A and B are shown apart, each in its own frame.
Chain A
Amino acid sequence: MGGWKKYLLWFVLALPAVSMLASLLRDSALPMDLLHPSGEMSVRLMVLAMLPGPLSEFFGGNRLLSFWLSVRRNLGVAAFAYALLHLAIYVLDMQSLPAILDELSLPAIWTGWLSLILMLPAACISFEAAVRYLKRNWKRIQRIVYLAFAAGIAHWLLLDWQWQPAAVHAAPLMLAWMLRLIARIRRAAGRTVS
């Protein structure tokens, strides 16, 4: 995907961020009000980036999935961008480095940092030359995102103590992974028969 379609995709992906920044500038929201939406958007985009892989293993190639696969790297980078925005809002909210360092030891906080750090390697190699240069290792590095997702969900749960919203976001991935497992078992069974 290239040209205007890519711009359109990034325009859509940027809309929530623009709205968040606008509400900050208009003083209709405090930085703390935007912590939840920015973090949640990051998790949503991460889920959207992680879904098409396992789904296409189960359903095979179709137009929707091939389109989805073609944009998933963009979705992943956008997830990272929203995580960075989340961090920027957090810094704006805390306003003091000692206060940030002081709460670093709280489980609900360090899991968030951990998630961001785990997203870094995948985000850093999200350009075409890196894919070609790293070959099979590229995929291996991208898999660290699974850990980033787990840390992000833990961060969310430990802050809110409400399992439902986090579960709603994790459920589609669980389902997709189950389908992939079924597809792999079927393929393995097919191989032993033939």
Chain B
Amino acid sequence: MTAKDRLLAISACAAALAFSATPAHADGNVTCDSGPQENWQPISKLKKKVWLERWSLLKTQVEGDCYEVYARTETGQAIEAFFHPVTLEKLVVFRRGKEIFRAKGFDG
């Protein structure tokens, strides 16, 4: 094995390492102050909330102590919305990193 081959092997490992690293998630700094998880409502209940908003749902997930929804609005806008896991209240909505809605009094 020549020196160049060794270097190539090292860089291959470095690339593999970079590839395996998991990316940090967007807007991970919203906090809902939602208490213990056993008091949370099932995340599937968000489907109805999303339907009531007339959004089309892409994905729901738990983000920190909040429920997070990725959806499209009626006009096709890509949005990310945070809901309170206990009350299922819509707390804050982002469009491509820009806040477009915030519930009155919510500062999480």
Q: Which of A53-61, A95-103, A125-133 contacts B (4 or more CB under 8 A)?
A: A95-103
Judge whether B97 and A159 touch: CB under 8 Å. Answer: yes
Closest B residue to A157 by beta carbon equals: B97
Judge whether A102 and B77 touch: CB under 8 Å. Answer: yes
Contact residues of B between 66 and 99, Cβ < 8 Å to A: 70, 72, 75-78, 95-98
Q: How far is the CB of B74 from chain A (nearest CB, A)?
A: 11
Judge whether A9 and B8 touch: CB under 8 Å. Answer: yes
Count B-side interface residues using an 8 Å CB cutoff. Answer: 30
Count A-side interface residues using an 8 Å CB cutoff. Answer: 40
User: Is residue A193 contacting chain B, with contact meaning CB distance below 8 A?
Assistant: no
Q: How far is the CB of B9 from chain A (nearest CB, A)?
A: 9
CB-CB under 8 A from B15, the residues of chain A are 12-13, 15
Q: Is the interface of B mostly helix, strand, loop or mixed?
A: mixed
User: Is residue A44 contacting chain B, with contact meaning CB distance below 8 A?
Assistant: yes
Judge whether B7 and A64 touch: CB under 8 Å. Answer: yes
Judge whether A96 and B76 touch: CB under 8 Å. Answer: yes
CB-CB under 8 A from A103, the residues of chain B are 77-78, 95-96
CB-CB under 8 A from B4, the residues of chain A are 1, 5, 63, 67
Q: Is the interface of A mostly helix, strand, loop or mixed?
A: helix
Distance in angstroms between the alpha carbons of A9 and B3 in the assembled complex: 15
CB-CB under 8 A from B18, the residues of chain A are 41, 44
User: Is residue B24 contacting chain A, with contact meaning CB distance below 8 A?
Assistant: yes
Q: How far is the CB of B20 from chain A (nearest CB, A)?
A: 9
Distance in angstroms between the alpha carbons of A4 and B12 in the assembled complex: 14
CB-CB under 8 A from A107, the residues of chain B are 98
Given contacts A159-B97, A161-B29, whether A15 and B19 have CB atoms under 8 Å apart is yes
Chain A residues packing against B (C-beta within 8 Å): 1, 5, 8-9, 12-13, 15-16, 19, 30, 32-33, 36-37, 40-41, 44, 63-64, 67-68, 71, 93-94, 96, 98-99, 102-103, 106-109, 158-162, 164-165
8 CB-based A-B contacts, threshold 8 Å:
A8-B12, A9-B11, A32-B58, A36-B26, A67-B8, A94-B76, A158-B96, A159-B26
Q: Which 3 A-B pairs have the closest CB atoms?
A: A99-B76, A108-B97, A159-B97
Chain B residues packing against A (C-beta within 8 Å): 3-5, 7-8, 11-12, 15-16, 18-19, 23-29, 58-59, 70, 72, 75-78, 95-98
